[in-house]
Amino acid sequence: MADRRATCWDWIYSQIWAHANMNVFASKLTGPPCYLMARTTLTDDILKEIIRLKSETGLGPMKLLARACAAPEGLDSAIINTWLNGKTRSARADHLAFVLNAYRQAAPVLAVTDEMREKLTSEMARTGCTPARLLNRIAPYPDGLTALEISRWATGRLKTAESGLWAFVMDGLAALPDKPA
């Protein structure tokens, strides 16, 4: 414990002496070393919540961090994976809060079933729309929705869809008239 305290004070003094002017010191202070930051025990309930959110969104740790902006310093997918596989029983509090919030803000993902795929293709046949034409007719459409994605849903190459995007496409198709005879 004494070593840790000495290291902490060494860091504080280095920050003060590097910036003799206190106004400069206050603006340049970067925060304590990561080993002094608050840690939270990863209880079974917390891990179950992360796993539930992960399965609801369909996002693994790497995709979650790629989509999120401004992740805390030091957080990467390997750290999240060590939580999930039980190799680590504690986490930095800011890392845990960020991951939980990012998962809660991510859109839920649906598994595209054969029935859903059949409904999509029958609606596209009814309206005579290709994926690209469909997007032109129901514009403006949400970010992340592409003609390629709709095509992959229809052919079965893409097995999941964000629930909001799927609903937007199906509602847009339902609102379109039948193709002229």
- Classify residue 101: in a domain, yes or no: yes
The pTM assigned to this predicted structure is: 0.62
Last residue of a domain, one of 106, 135, 157: 106
Number of Cβ within a 10 Å radius of residue 55? 11
User: For residue 7, what pLDDT is reported?
Assistant: 59
- Classify residue 76: in a domain, yes or no: yes
Is pLDDT of 77 > 60?
yes
- Classify residue 180: in a domain, yes or no: no
Q: Where are the alpha helices (DSSP H) in the chain?
A: 2-18, 22-28, 44-57, 61-67, 77-84, 93-105, 114-127, 131-137, 147-155, 163-175
Residue 97 is part of which domain span? 37-106
The total domain count for the chain is: 3
User: For residue 67, what pLDDT is reported?
Assistant: 84
User: For residue 9, what pLDDT is reported?
Assistant: 60
User: In the 8-state DSSP scheme, what is residue 74?
Assistant: T
93 and 114, same structural domain? no
